[in-house]
């Protein structure tokens, strides 16, 4: 979502505006923030994109990895592996962070629907 917002994807921008209008708390996992920094450094206009990243993330609540996330990740990842439903370590960490902080996930990645108890919002 953050990457699409940064790329000025109309659907992503509209969804964020809708959340703001509804006074929804807008958060991001630390993993997603790391990903958009990586994207800025891979771009041809690093300084410009770093400024945009800083602007975007300054208004977000940053969901961190803590001991609750660690345990949820271990349990979740093991369960997905046993059931043949892996979605990848990074996305499993993102899901664990959302679960630990009782947050929905807003994404276009349908594989998050494989995560029990995770509320997935699409746009």
Q: What's the CA gap between 13 and 51, in Å, rounded?
A: 18
Question: Which pLDDT does position 7 carry in this prediction?
Answer: 58
pLDDT tens for each residue of 86-97 = 999 999 999 999
Q: Is the pLDDT of residue 2 over 60?
A: no
pLDDT tens for each residue of 34-84 = 999 999 999 999 999 999 899 889 988 999 999 999 999 999 999 999 999
Q: What's the CA gap between 79 and 96, in Å, rounded?
A: 12
Question: Which pLDDT does position 28 carry in this prediction?
Answer: 93
- The answer to whether 12 and 59 are in contact (CB under 8 A) is no
Domains and CATH numbers, the chain: 1-120 (3.40.50.1010)
Q: Is the pLDDT of residue 3 over 50?
A: yes
Task: Show the DSSP H helices in 22-102 as ranges.
Answer: 30-42, 46-58, 67-82, 89-100
86-90 LR contacts (CB < 8 Å, sep 24+) = 87/111, 87/112, 87/114, 87/115, 90/31
């Amino acid at each position: 979502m953050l990457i699409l917002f940064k790329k000025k994807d109309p659907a992503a921008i509209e969804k964020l505006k809708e959340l703001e209008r509804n006074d929804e708390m807008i958060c991001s996992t630390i993993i997603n923030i790391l990903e958009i920094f990586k994207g800025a450094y891979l771009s041809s206009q690093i300084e410009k994109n770093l400024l945009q990243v800083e602007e975007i993330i300054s208004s977000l609540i940053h969901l961190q990895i803590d001991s609750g996330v660690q345990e949820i990740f271990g349990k979740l990842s093991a369960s997905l592996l046993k059931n043949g439903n892996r979605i990848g370590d990074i996305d499993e960490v993102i899901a664990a962070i959302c679960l630990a902080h009782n947050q929905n996930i807003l994404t276009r990645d349908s594989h998050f629907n494989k995560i029990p108890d995770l509320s997935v919002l699409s746009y």
